[in-house]
Amino acid sequence: MSSLLQRIILLVETQKYRVSDHGDEELADDRLPSGDAIAGLERSVVIEEYSDTGRGPSLLVLTYDALERPIHVV
């Protein structure tokens, strides 16, 4: 597991994260509750790691929603 993903999981576990407005819009468009995107982080597969996106380091991960449908999360 990447060290960045481990840091993100820790932030989620301690509730020190924020879903962006854009992320909320994308989740709403796909009819996914934000909890589905967050709940699967521990079993996520890192697809790509970005060193700096203007907001700091980011990851693109493959995870699954509550119905086991694949979703991507940045």
The whole-number pLDDT of residue 60 equals 94
The whole-number pLDDT of residue 53 equals 77
The whole-number pLDDT of residue 6 equals 94
Rg (CA), the chain: 12
The whole-number pLDDT of residue 54 equals 82
* 9-58 tens-digit pLDDT: 999 999 998 888 988 999 899 888 888 888 888 889 999 999 887 888 99
Q: Are strands 58-64 and 70-73 parallel, antiparallel or unpaired?
A: antiparallel
